[in-house]
Chain A
Amino acid sequence: MVSSIVLSGTAIGCIYALIAVTYNVMFSASRVFSFTAGTLGMLGGVLGSLFIARMGLPVAIGFLLVLAGGAVLGIVTEIVAVRPVLKSLDQHLYVLSTLALALMIQQFTAIEWSTEPLPFPRLFDIARVEFDQQFWLPMLACLVVIVSLELLYRHTLIGHAFIAIAEDNYAARALGLPERRLRMTSFALAGVIGTLAGFAGGEMLLAFFANAPMLTFYGFVPVALGGMGNNRGAVVAGLMLGLFQQTANFLVGGIFASVAVFSVFIIVLLARPEGLVGAALQRRV
């Protein structure tokens, strides 16, 4: 029982963590919480199934096409749902615009793909074992993303530029950084991470349009718990969420597991509104 909790809890926790990182990457570049994060995760599964299972493309090509699709959708999100509302950020209009775009994509997927969950292909033709690929693929994807982001942000010029616009947008622009292009690149990167989450978790979650709201919701919990914009916090909180959820499934089961998860979520936020890892926000007065 313990191995089952650890395996599936860690795997689903990694998917939540990747969606949380998707939120964070978009947030860092724009101060906008784009609710397309879960939709990108859903599309990772649906596009993977479309390219590999339905169109019969090789896994590697299908994988690259899924990531490319995610990048394009990230850019479209920035142009359609984020850029027009940036001027009035304090009115939080992005909640409506990104949610509307997410719902449109979700409904379009339901109509054009299927309203039923469809199978996601086995990516590697190897026998099923207890530590199956459906568990280690999300873990591997999470590890690769976190290491790559750390390297990008700490050791590359473009990474420093991302941090600069995240820290102080006006100052970064005053220094001559191409803020708009960097923001679009961030959204493309977020698109890649979001679809990677859905692709790596496709065998667990299947290719199903209704994964979008589920991932949007559960992916946001690690963002809130880990501190907004904090990727390390998001990964720790995502893993904790997955493991706690799976433990609750075993111990109490049914809908009570969801109740347990959200009870703990509310208690944590009441005790530490800035999140478990985040620092309290300070505002100049």
Chain B
Amino acid sequence: MPLTRRQALASAAAAVASTVAKPAIAAKEPILIGYLPALTGPSSSTGVGINRGIQLAVQEINAAGGIDGRQIELITRDTQSDPTKAVNGAAELTRGQKVSVVFGPVNSGESLAVVPLLARTNTPQVHPCWVDTLTDPKKYPMCFRNAPTNQQIGGAANRYVVDVLKHKKVAVISDTTGYGTASVNAYVPMLKAKGAEVVYQSNVDAANPDLKPEILRMRSAGAEAIMPWSVNAGFLSRIINTRGQMEWNVPIVGQTTLGSGQTQALLEKPDYWAKVYPNNFRPVCYTPDGKLTDRTTAFLDRLKSAKIEMADTLLWWIALGYDSPRMIAEAMKNVGSEAEQIVGYLNNLKEFPGVYGDMSFTPDRHDGYPDEEVVMVEANSLKNGAFKLAPGYSA
């Protein structure tokens, strides 16, 4: 069909308009980051803490001009601590909102459902969940973890008991949940590989109101340290209380919940919390002389000036939340907001300076948190959401 002069002019004008106007609009469009926190529901305490850091970081990035003039817009879908709602939220973020990156979910149960889904939609994802299988560069090449794995958590506790406290006879106990039994199964061989003797090993119903039989059995077996793996504050407090009642002075070393306010509230005497050492992270801990690193001190000052509450949460949650959008923004500033470019950048990220810890990835390892930063702390030293390093660590 012959082209008329009017049609040719119109199509030429449209072509010019499309090439000129599009970048102008794109430059003003916000960059959409999907965000899947659990802000309500039974597992929301982590999400609420992380959320405070995320909001502060996004405010700071946008106040500083955003990413090449484009503001960051967080598209938040509260998972309500429910994997089904997390999956629905992830589907809407990728298919409806077409976000560039997703941060979250922040609980492992939700991530187990969401990670395969996001992998199918080729959406870059950063999450802070500990379950080992939640990263796999082959199965989930766009998924990165900016937190430790369960292996690192258990490894740090084992190192503390065997290498720092020099105890060789260890009792390992867990509740009967999937997390508890999986932890015991994973950590006992690691302890044995370090030369420790596991003199007691058991999974116990967390609802059992009397743990004296178990603790007596540990003592009879000659245990020099108790390592409980559970997120159930009732179960953990019963272990601590029974040890206190029996006046058995061995250290209790294990999961972060040992140092939580819920566990503390269930102790029969405050003194029973002595010699209890939960996991934590060195950059957000007080050194033995009561100091924080310069980077963390500056971060605390920013939190105070932004009037962010810290007393009812943990500093590492806020720090983790704060680092996450900054790391994503760093990638976008350098390579743009296309999925492949972001993943390519993160695959070669080296020591991104976070408050929570320096993050590094390689194409073969998408677990960014450094081993040596996972440490143990004194449970009864909580101040402003941070703990003091357990005895035996150098400053």
1/0 per residue, CB under 8 A from A, across B42-64: the answer is 10000000000000000000000
Shortest C-beta distance, A204 to chain B (Å), equals 4
- Asked whether any CB of chain B lies closer than 8 Å to the CB of A99, the reply is no
- Asked whether any CB of chain B lies closer than 8 Å to the CB of A214, the reply is yes
Q: How far is the CA of A4 from the CA of B212 in the complex (A)?
A: 8
Contact A255 B203 (CB under 8 A): yes
Contacts A206-B266, A214-B207, A255-B203: A249 and B42 contacting too (C-beta < 8 A)?
no
Considering the complex, which residues of chain B in the window 216-271 have a beta carbon less than 8 Å from any beta carbon of chain A? 216-217, 232-234, 237, 245, 262, 265-266, 268
Which of B208, B209, B237, B265 has the most chain A CB atoms inside 10 A of its CB? B209
Shortest C-beta distance, A94 to chain B (Å), equals 26
Q: How far is the CA of A12 from the CA of B268 in the complex (A)?
A: 19
Contact A253 B212 (CB under 8 A): no
Shortest C-beta distance, A213 to chain B (Å), equals 9
Contact B209 A258 (CB under 8 A): no
Contact B268 A128 (CB under 8 A): yes
Contacts A8-B210, A204-B210: A117 and B233 contacting too (C-beta < 8 A)?
yes
Shortest C-beta distance, A80 to chain B (Å), equals 26
Q: How far is the CA of A115 from the CA of B208 in the complex (A)?
A: 17
Q: Residue A254 contacts which of B203, B207, B212, B266 (CB distance < 8 angstroms)?
A: B203
Q: How far is the CA of A206 from the CA of B234 in the complex (A)?
A: 8
Contact A258 B205 (CB under 8 A): yes
Dominant secondary structure of chain B at its interface with chain A: mixed
1/0 per residue, CB under 8 A from B, across A124-155: the answer is 00001000000000000000000000000000
1/0 per residue, CB under 8 A from B, across A202-234: the answer is 001110101100100000000000000000000
Shortest C-beta distance, A218 to chain B (Å), equals 9
User: Nearest A residue to B204 by beta-carbon distance?
Assistant: A254
Q: Residue A119 contacts which of B205, B216, B266 (CB distance < 8 angstroms)?
A: B266
Q: How far is the CA of A40 from the CA of B137 in the complex (A)?
A: 50
Contact A249 B176 (CB under 8 A): no
- Asked whether any CB of chain A lies closer than 8 Å to the CB of B202, the reply is yes
Considering the complex, which residues of chain A in the window 237-260 have a beta carbon less than 8 Å from any beta carbon of chain B? 246, 249-250, 253-255, 257-258
Q: How far is the CA of A52 from the CA of B213 in the complex (A)?
A: 31
- Asked whether any CB of chain B lies closer than 8 Å to the CB of A110, the reply is yes
Contact A253 B214 (CB under 8 A): yes
Shortest C-beta distance, B216 to chain A (Å), equals 7
Residue numbers in B under 8 Å from A12 (CB-CB): 209-210
Considering the complex, which residues of chain A in the window 43-71 have a beta carbon less than 8 Å from any beta carbon of chain B? none
Contact B204 A255 (CB under 8 A): yes
- Asked whether any CB of chain B lies closer than 8 Å to the CB of A118, the reply is yes
User: Nearest B residue to A115 by beta-carbon distance?
Assistant: B42
Contacts A206-B266, A253-B204, A254-B202: A116 and B213 contacting too (C-beta < 8 A)?
no
Contacts A208-B234, A254-B203, A255-B203: A119 and B208 contacting too (C-beta < 8 A)?
no
Q: How far is the CA of A119 from the CA of B233 in the complex (A)?
A: 11
Contacts A118-B265, A128-B268: A8 and B212 contacting too (C-beta < 8 A)?
yes
Contacts A119-B265, A206-B234: A253 and B213 contacting too (C-beta < 8 A)?
yes
Q: How far is the CA of A129 from the CA of B308 in the complex (A)?
A: 45
Residue numbers in B under 8 Å from A214 (CB-CB): 207
User: Nearest A residue to B231 by beta-carbon distance?
Assistant: A116
Contacts A205-B209, A254-B203, A254-B204: A116 and B234 contacting too (C-beta < 8 A)?
yes
Q: How far is the CA of A204 from the CA of B238 in the complex (A)?
A: 10
- Asked whether any CB of chain B lies closer than 8 Å to the CB of A267, the reply is no
Q: Residue A211 contacts which of B204, B207, B213 (CB distance < 8 angstroms)?
A: B207
- Asked whether any CB of chain B lies closer than 8 Å to the CB of A1, the reply is yes
Contacts A1-B216, A119-B266, A253-B202: A8 and B234 contacting too (C-beta < 8 A)?
no
List the 3 closest pairs (A to B, CB-CB), nearest first: A117-B234, A115-B42, A254-B202
Q: List 12 A-B contacts (CB under 8 A).
A: A4-B213, A116-B262, A119-B266, A205-B209, A208-B234, A246-B210, A249-B208, A249-B210, A253-B214, A254-B202, A254-B204, A255-B202
Q: A4-B210, A211-B207, A254-B202 are in contact. List 18 more A-B contacts (CB 8 A).
A: A4-B212, A4-B213, A12-B210, A116-B233, A116-B234, A117-B266, A118-B262, A128-B268, A204-B210, A210-B207, A246-B213, A249-B210, A249-B213, A253-B202, A253-B213, A254-B214, A255-B202, A258-B205
- Residues on B lying within 8 angstroms of A by beta carbon are 42, 176, 202-205, 207-210, 212-214, 216-217, 232-234, 237, 245, 262, 265-266, 268
